[in-house]
Structure 1
Amino acid sequence: MKLSSNKNFFQPRARLLLQLGDKLIKNENIALLELIKNSYDADARKVNVKLEKVTNKEFGRIEIIDDGEGMDLAIIENVWLEPGSDYKADLFSKKIRTSKYKRLPIGEKGIGRFGVHKLGNSIELISRKKDQNEVVVRINWNEFSKNKYLKDARFEVFERTPEYFLRNRVGTKIIISDLRTNWDRRMVRELYKSVFTLNSPFQKVGNFKIDLKIDDQSLIDNLPKWDEIKGFSLWHFKCKLQGSSIKEFTYEFTPWSSMEGLEPRKVTEESDFISNNSTILYKSKQNPKEEVIINLSKNYGTTSEVRTIGEINFEGYIFDRDKSTLDLSAQQGLSLLKQYLDEQGGIRVYRDNIRINEYGEKGNDWLNLDLRRVNTPAKKISNNIILSVVDLDVEQSGALIEKTNREGFIENEAFFDFCAALLYAINLIEILRKIDKDLIRAKYNPTEKEEPVLHHVGELKRIVENKVKDEPLKEEIIKHLNKIETDYNQINEILLTSAGAGLTLGVGIHEVQKVISELNLVIKKEEVPEKILNLITHLDNLIENYSDLLRQNESKEEDLIKLLKGALFNVEYRAIAHNITIVKEYQNFNFPSFAYCSRRLLLGALINIFDNSIYWLERKFKKLKDIDKDYSKKIYVNLYSNEDESIEILIADNGSGFNIPTNQVTKPFISNKPGGIGLGLHIVKEIMQAQDGKLLFPSSNEYSLPAEFQNGAIVVLKLNKKL
């Protein structure tokens, strides 16, 4: 026999609303911001927030008054009193904008009203819509804990002839009393900061203003203001990301007036550096060697409900907190600067100029800026040296979905692509900033141009030679200094070899994997013993060539033609995989091709250069593949013999050339590869110096180059024919 229950429905307890308010709204700060955002959705121009005696919850009072469109009795009953109402979500889906300021709702979940319970136990709401009576709602939340079921918890809702919104005034007033918490100084200051960052600090003219009045001004004494801090910034940037590319870009370096000898610098989207790096890329999670193009216009939703990230507007100011730099400033308020950046530094996110909670809050490193800076502190930007905003269009950015508790976006595919696009832009900004930062250091904190340890050892030798009169003692000291110099050079060479080998080892392993994969295919599909033998021979030679990087052989006379063959052999399969033609002009070299060098070091240098060319040729190809069908990737290699007893290896490609000034590309941690550490050319430079050679970046007119290579990257390794 089947016995059916008479209770086949949910019967929520009255205290459920109290629990929802506590769980869904993180703190009083967010609760008040949610009520302010409701005023924005109501098409308000201005919101007045008053805090009176809030440090004493018994006598404290909070008021929120706006001049929005107000609510009538129908909206109060069918929307405001229905938690989880889809009223705003429906307006958003139908793209119905407000009448005066043409806003789409930013609150779609219908949970903002729980904020009033988070703040206090007693609420009075007065609202008036145009040509309507006032509607009054009075709720004592304590009654909800007394009643068992939600349906039994009653409160006042009535209409009346206007008493507060007199004449033609409309809007909403909320009065919260019997506060649930004694507000302390920290809470008030956090609220003050949040209210004044609800709108972007960079937005000069807006149609939504918040006026916060606190009866006890001592609670917010000495809070630094943005206008007081802005003058300390040295860098400003502004860019627009749209679709798969950077559409607009401005970067400005503005040295302080006290920084004599440093000129302002400006870079725009028209510069080679930005135009050649305008495609937004990130490294694939499945294959870190593969770069994926991000498309902000991609549909992350369905055919019927299109959801994109949309256009991203990104603007910010960057500071230098190094003591040696700050000492150059003639401005007052350095302690306020550090306090302000510690508390408010970071990257905030806005939708239609209204802030999304959490991003840019202290301790929320949502883009991993601080972690990146730990790894490469000389180049990367951390949260406490940047104040930046990201502005999204509420209609376009539906793929970025706010969490129910209002603590940021749900971490879905669109969110990760959003972060990756921002990091791509940040990387370009960091490269430009590093150049200017080095200029500041060079001007005001000069370091020795020589290798510093060897320079100081040499200085000490000269002092000993001039000052020490006791010859036996002088010889003993000089002997020890020479030993220190020799040992240092040996250690430096070992480290240099290890670094070069480490950077190229990944390429070597990649090549080995390719050959093994092809071997497997040949064995399965073909019966051609010769091809199998050729592949095995290639693999054997490849391993042998890479092992040269690790051998401890001294510099000696090497045949550069043979060495070039070995280096090109190592990258042969990569070149084939990327459809790159290598023009081996050095094969027509009719002079002796010998030079003194370390085979392992020079091999590492050559592979680094070829690796750079392959990468940037592929980047250019991806950019041009839909525009220039005739473009084909090429690398040109040649040898030149000079009368000064030197011989030169020239490597050129038909890519986009160097986007960073060549006097900067050899500095460590300078790279415009996404995720690049910027050590490749720095190591090449160190390798050449270790062999008394030079790394040069000549202009195209210095050598007789085919026309197609004259606008690409040109690198020359200059070596001595004799010791």
Structure 2
Amino acid sequence: MDSEDTEAYLRPRARLMSTLGEELISNERVALTELVKNAYDADASLVVIRFNAPLEEGVGSIEVWDDGHGMSPETVRGSWMEIATPHRHRRPRSEKRGRRVLGAKGIGRFSAARLGLVTSLATCRGDGEEVTLRLDWGRFSDENAYLDQVPVNWSVRSPKVFSIGGEAEQLFDDLTGEFRTGVAAEPGRSPHGTVVRLEGLRQRWSAESIETLKRSLSRLLPPPPPAELAVPDQPEFSIYIETPPGELRHYSGFVSASEALAHPHYRLVGTVDADGQAHLTLTAMGVEEEVVIHDDLRQGTNLPSCGPVKLDIRTWDLDSGSLRQLLKIDLGAQNISEVRRLIRGNSGVALYRDGFRIQPFGETGYDWLEFDQRRVNNPTMRFSNNQVAGFVYVSADGNPGLRDRSHREGLIDSPEYEELKRVMVQAVSRLETWRYRLRRPEPPRPLDSEPLLPATEGGGHGVFQNFTLDPLRDVVNQRYPDDAVLGRALDEATEAINDSVQKVQEIISQFSRLATLGTLVDVVLHDGRAALTRIAYVLRRLNRLTKGTSEQDPGLCEALGKVHTDFVAQEKALDRLFTRVEPLSGRQRGRPKKISLHEAIDEAVSVHEADLVKQGITVTVGGDDVTVTAEPSDIAQVILNLVGNAIYWLSTLPEGADRSILITTERTPDGEVDIDVSDNGPGVREEIKDMIFDTYFSDKPDGIGLGLSIVGSVVKDFYDGDLYLVSPGPLTGACFRARLRRRVG
């Protein structure tokens, strides 16, 4: 029947309830956490999670008790039974304690559907009536039933569960009296609160799953924060888990933070304001020195501000020697393996909004800052996720761009969230740099004009530091102090070992350069040129097809002609790019030839053309156009790495700032050739000038630390030269000088 201006209404099927429960709550652990958060919003000071055997799928039950303010019949009918109620939006603070409420979407009740087949609820406000209701979630699975056709059984009665001397009061009083949690009953109060019984479990609860739940809940509220962070006092809120007799009984107890968290090897505490200005304090176990850093962690990013952040990052070294220190502390561990397992079990960076953790931040294995990938790229400097336990504090008012996902796990991928991750990695990189300095075995080098590869002393560092005869020398000096022949022989052996170690280091440096960058370029060239060959073949066929359609369909012919022209242009661009990077190939080096340094520099700089344009960087090549006898790929490697570093640091300048790179070449009076690469970026920080030439050291948050090492290898190995940090340089930022002494005639 035809009609106009007729109104219709959406009518959800009953099975929408089970669908939403599965989609909005990702797993049973999150579901229980949601029920705990509901108790927190109800001003509870104690939550009891009771597991009743048998904890098998389809049987058994879980009870969640709280001593919050409870619900009146009007609240149950008008709020709890309304889906997506706006109640929390209207009242963002809890009614008694003024807590910032954690539930705002009105969908927390679906947690019960995720946990059990049947939900029974009893709730009571002080001196009020007790409300009970029962939901059989299976009744909502009827495909033919509509949501408003499935009744929910509920009743109002005089208090029974929450009566004076009843089950709730006995439970809470027994726990607070036995364990002295500080949660004391109010004199003369009438019992109040809520209990949710989840019957017919949807999953089996094993020892492992209960242990995971307890560990997750232990980080729901952070440990006491450092006083200097000025984080508001944590609310009086305790969680108790009660497990059935038998093998699971030892999991019963109050949930608390691990003692291991109180004893990190390294710690970063500080604040970052909305503009990215950080005030960070770094400390280390057994080190009296305390480092305070003031720095800009946003560094000119165009991303929106994530808002002010407070940080407490605790990290550990997991080698046996470092963990042995912790065995002297009562952590509940008997050996190094247990200490390592304890640290890993509490690892992860947790994110707290208004004092309560956002899931799943802080869960073991949830590497939202990608620490593990950073460590793969640079294992010498970076922390892995299982070495870090972090506590990050934000607020709903101060960080409005950090919003929860609808399924209650994680944050929406907003620009503000990306900025938060960026700021966090920047802060942690400061701690990694300081840790590197503390663990660095060799003494600091002079700050300025120090070659990359100085003469090796004392057996080098890193893997070579054990190539030393010092223990033998100590024994000889003690037992044979007057034996000059033995002493001289020992000196000669030490010198021979040091010389050999230096040669091995140089060989490894060459091999590393050829095996990494060179091999990578070989693969790119091989596969890339093979693809270009195929593209050229297809383009020839396309050209023939275009000519064949000229008479039948001129419009199609014209369109195909434009496509052919565009693809040919792109093919030539790729071919030019491959030609530019071919000198970096790891194939056998050709004979050095006379080249113009300026031409070689221009060719190398052109590889960075896209980044230079994107960042608005001006490159100037000046000085004497020196002619040298060299391998073009060597000059390309020097320029590519030094200019690449300059581009990165210039990109951290504020938007609109002048960004310049100056490359100059000069032949010295001694016949040597200098290549200087300077920029007007932030320069090299004073506290790291003595470390920047160390292999794998990088001040970039995601840096690998091989750029300067590759440049130094080329300069030293093939031209008997050195790499220097020149201070001051011609521009305001960093200036590196590659001095070539051989093959420069």
Structure-1 residue corresponding to 2:481: none
Q: Is the 8 A contact 1:280 1:424 kept in 2?
A: no
Partner of 1:160: 158
- Aligned partner of 2:735 in structure 1 is 714
Give 1:219's aligned amino acid: L
For 1:196, give the aligned amino acid.
S
Match of 2:474 in 1: none
Q: Distance in 2 between matches of 1:61 and 1:86?
A: 31
Question: Residue 560 of structure 2 corresponds to which residue in structure 1?
Answer: none
Shift of 1:679: 2.0
Which residue in 2 is equivalent to 1:521? none
1:82 Cα deviation after fit: 1.6
C-alpha distance in structure 2 between counterparts of 1:354 and 1:492, whole Å: 48
Verify the 8 A CA contact 1:316 1:386 in the aligned structure 2: yes
Aligned to 1:656: 682
Specify which of 339, 359, 362 is matched with residue 360 of structure 1.
Answer: 362
Which of residues 689, 697, 704 is equivalent to 2:716? 689
- For residues 518 and 734 of structure 2, the distance between their equivalents in structure 1, rounded to whole angstroms, comes to 26
The one of 261, 268, 271 aligned to 2:292: 268
Distance change (3 Å), C-alpha of 1:633 and 1:552: same
Consecutive unaligned residues of structure 2, counting only runs of 5 or more, are 165-187, 227-232, 329-333, 445-456, 468-502, 526-573
Please give the secondary structure, in 2, of the residue aligned with 1:399: coil
Selected match of 2:699 from 672, 676, 699? 672
1:687 Cα deviation from its structure 2 partner: 1.4
Which of 210, 216, 223 lines up with 1:188 in the alignment? 210
Q: Displacement, 1:420?
A: 4.2
For residues 214 and 120 of structure 1, do their structure 2 counterparts lie closer, same or farther at Cα, with a shift above 3 Å needed?
A: farther
Residue 500 of structure 1 and its aligned partner are, at CA, apart by 11
CA offset digits 1:34-64 (Å, max 9, x no partner): 12111222233x1231425444579966544
Question: Residue 35 of structure 2 aligns with which residue?
Answer: 35
Q: Deviations over 1:600-646 (max 9, x none)?
A: 424421443234334434533x2684xxxxx6746373647466x75
Which residue is 1:552 aligned to? 589
| Change in 2 beyond 3 A, CA 1:156/1:696 | same
From 298, 303, 312, give the equivalent of 1:294.
303
Contact 1:238–1:249, Cα closer than 8 Å, also in 2: yes
Q: Which residue of 2 aligns with 1:567?
A: 601
Q: Which residue of 2 is the match for residue 174 of structure 1?
A: 195
Work out whether residues 133 and 152 of structure 2, in 8 Å CA contact, stay in contact via their aligned partners in 1: no
**Displacement of 1:650:** 4.4
TM-score (norm 1): 0.68
CA distance in 2, matches of 1:488, 1:432: 27
| TM-fit CA distance, 1:376 | 3.5
Deviation at 1:693, TM superposition (A): 1.7
> 1:619 maps to what in 2?
652
Structure 1 position 386, deviation (Å): 1.4
Which residue matches 1:610? 643
Identify the residue that residue 526 of structure 1 maps to in structure 2: none
C-alpha offsets along residues 540-591 of structure 1, whole Å, 9 cap, x if unaligned? 99999876666834568x78xx42564257538969954547484557xxxx
**Could you tell me whether the CA contact under 8 Å between 1:31 and 1:119 is conserved in 2?**
no
Q: Which residue of the partner structure matches residue 349 of structure 1?
A: 351
Deviates more, 1:352-361 or 1:174-183: 174-183
Whether 2:307 is the aligned partner of 1:310: answer yes
- List aligned pairs for 1:525-544, cutoff 5 A: none
Match of 2:222 among 188, 200, 206: 200
- Listed one character per residue, the Cα deviations across residues 655-689 of structure 1 (whole Å, up to 9, x for unaligned) are 32213623322233333345443321111111122
- Checking the alignment, whether the CA contact within 8 Å between 1:319 and 1:385 is kept in structure 2 is yes
What is the deviation of 1:8? 6.4
Matched, 1:373 2:375: yes
Shift of 1:211: 2.8
The CA distance in 2 between the partners of 1:540 and 1:327, in whole Å, is: 57
Secondary structure of the residue aligned to 1:157 is strand
Q: Secondary structure at the match of 1:712?
A: coil
Question: Residue type of the partner of 1:605?
Answer: V
C-alpha distance in 1 between matches for 2:78 and 2:647: 64
Q: What is the 5 A alignment of 1:492-531?
A: 494-495=514-515, 498=518
Q: 2:264 is matched with which residue? A: 233
Partner residue of 1:87?
87
Aligned partner letter, 1:712: G
Percent identity of equivalent pairs? 22
- Quick one: which amino acid aligns to residue 666 of structure 1? F
Please give the secondary structure, in 1, of the residue aligned with 2:688. coil
Residue 347 to residue 487, structure 1, CA distance change in 2 (3 Å): closer
Residues 447 and 416 of structure 1, relative CA distance in 2, 3 Å threshold: farther
Which residue identity does 1:720 align to in structure 2? R
**1:72–1:133 contact (8 Å) kept in structure 2:** yes
2:280 counterpart residue number: 249
Q: Which amino acid aligns with 1:668?
A: T
Shift of 1:452: 8.1
Q: 1:321 to 1:145 in 2, by over 3 A?
A: same
Task: State the alpha-carbon separation in 2 of the partners of residues 378 and 82 from structure 1.
Answer: 55
Q: Which residue of 2 aligns with 1:210?
A: 238
Change (3 A) 1:78 1:602: same
Q: Residue 322 of structure 1: which of 319, 337, 342 is its match?
A: 319
Deviation of 1:212 after TM superposition, in Å, equals 0.6
Distance 1:29 1:98 in 2: 24
| Alpha-carbon distance, 1:128 to partner | 0.5
Q: Which residue of 2 aligns with 1:279?
A: 299
Measured after TM superposition, the shift of residue 352 of structure 1 is: 1.3
Q: Residues 278 and 124 from structure 1, CA distance in 2 versus in 1: closer, same or farther, beyond 3 angstroms?
A: closer
- 1:99 to partner: Cα distance: 4.8
CA distance in 1, matches of 2:344, 2:462: 36
Q: If the length of structure 2 is used for normalisation, what is the TM-score?
A: 0.66
Q: Distance in 2 between matches of 1:492 and 1:409?
A: 41
- Relative to structure 1, the CA distance from residue 179 to residue 87 in structure 2 (aligned partners, 3 Å threshold; closer, same or farther) is same
In structure 1, what is the Cα distance between the partners aligned to 2:49 and 2:612? 70
Structure 1 stretches lacking a partner, 5+ long = 258-262, 282-292, 297-308, 457-482, 506-538, 588-592, 626-630
Amino acid at match of 1:133: G
Q: CA deviation at 1:176?
A: 1.6
Q: Note if contact 1:542-1:570 (Cα within 8 Å) is conserved in structure 2.
A: no
Q: CA, structure 1 residues 383+24, in 2 after alignment: closer, same or farther (shift >3 Å)? A: same
Which one of the candidate residues 76, 98, 101 is aligned to 1:102? 98
SS at match of 1:269: strand
Q: CA deviation at 1:412?
A: 4.8
User: Is the 2:112–2:198 Cα contact (8 Å) retained in structure 1?
Assistant: no
Shift of 1:384: 1.5
Q: CA 1:376–1:581 in 2, change beyond 3 Å: closer, same or farther?
A: closer
Is contact 1:86-1:109 (8 Å) kept? Answer: yes
Query: Quick one: structure 1 residues 584 and 80, their matched pair in 2 at CA, closer, same or farther if it must change by over 3 Å?
Result: same
Do the aligned partners of 2:377 and 2:704 also contact (CA within 8 Å) in 1? Answer: no
